[in-house]
Amino acid sequence: MNTETQSRSRSRLKFFLLVFALSIPFYWAGALTPLQLLPGLPVSALAFVCPGIAALILVYRENKSAGVAKLLKRSFDYQRITAKIWYAPIVLLRPGIMVLSFVLMRWMGAPIPTPRFAILPALGLLLAFFAAALCEELGWSGYAIDPMQHRWGALRAGVLLGLVWAGWHILPLIQVDRPPAWIAWWCMDTVAARVLIVWLYNHTGKSVFAATLYHAVSNLAWQLFPINGSYFDPRITGLITALVAAIVVLPWGRRPRPRPTP
């Protein structure tokens, strides 16, 4: 069985159920303590390891240690990004969305302070976020998205995976006392962000590294938003992200999928 056939035969449902099952102890830990890893990040955020672990478990069942090694090797598959111009949206798109959010909030009269941060701590935070994002993207991008795209196409697969991704975060958001309306807007932002990640993934030779870097930079941009993300407004950011996805991704998503070669 070749790699593409193996990818198509993967069970998305088993993967998602396993991710949520593995996350239960982390959800419980977050419910038992008010401690936060960073402002807005409860202890349950440590569940970032679960998508990667779930993917490795299922890959091992499918193809033993060879499958595990192959999946782990995709962690730094930056050589797939043959057109280096794609590093521009990978690194700059989400910070650009956050800057535009800041400008709009200031224009609307929100009392938001000027961002202040030091370079070295920000780089250290980026490395930490990259490690966390890699654990997630080995699952979301390295395992789940390809069979979903094969069945539903890139755009619908991105939306569906985004809904799962957003739902997986709801309990941690409740644990840091986010109100229901805030969570709803955040979920819209997250679904649109996943559509963008799938768009970047497909245009970078299906690079897990590309998805991971975008994910990590996104988390860093949130923490650098004044103050440690406390002024972050998902209504503004979510609408901008959805608009960017509609402008950039929808024309691509509407293209018919090529028929397989007989």
Distance CA 58, CA 114 (A): 46
Give the best-scoring range by mean pLDDT among 9-23, 43-57, 237-251: 43-57
Would you say 48 and 33 are in contact if contact means Cβ atoms under 8 Å apart?
no
Between 208-224 and 180-203, two packed helices, what is the crossing angle to 10 degrees?
Answer: 140
- 89 pLDDT more than 80: yes
pLDDT tens-digit profile of 104-119?
999 999 999 998 889 9
- Quick one: average pLDDT of 45-56? 98
**Would you place residue 257 in the very low, low, confident or very high pLDDT band (cuts 50, 70, 90)?**
very low
Q: In the chain, pLDDT over 70 holds for what percent of residues?
A: 92
Would you say 132 and 219 are in contact if contact means Cβ atoms under 8 Å apart?
yes
DSSP 43-109: GGGGGGHHHHHHHHHHHHHHHHHHHHHHHHHGGG-GGG--SGGGHHHHHHHHHHHHHHHHHHHHHTT
pLDDT tens-digit profile of 120-175?
999 999 999 999 999 999 999 999 999 999 999 999 999 999 999 999 999 999 99
- 69 pLDDT more than 90: yes
pLDDT computed for residue 249 by the predictor: 77
Dig out the tokens for 176 from the structure: 């840091």
pLDDT computed for residue 259 by the predictor: 42
pLDDT computed for residue 262 by the predictor: 38
**Would you place residue 253 in the very low, low, confident or very high pLDDT band (cuts 50, 70, 90)?**
low
Nearest alpha carbon to residue 182 among 245, 236, 221: 236
Say whether 117 sits in a helix, a strand or coil: coil
pLDDT computed for residue 194 by the predictor: 98
**Would you place residue 63 in the very low, low, confident or very high pLDDT band (cuts 50, 70, 90)?**
very high
Distance CA 71, CA 68 (A): 5
- 183 pLDDT more than 60: yes
pLDDT computed for residue 3 by the predictor: 53
* CA 43, chain centre distance (Å): 19
* CA 240, chain centre distance (Å): 17
pLDDT tens-digit profile of 197-211?
999 999 999 999 999
Total-model pTM: 0.92
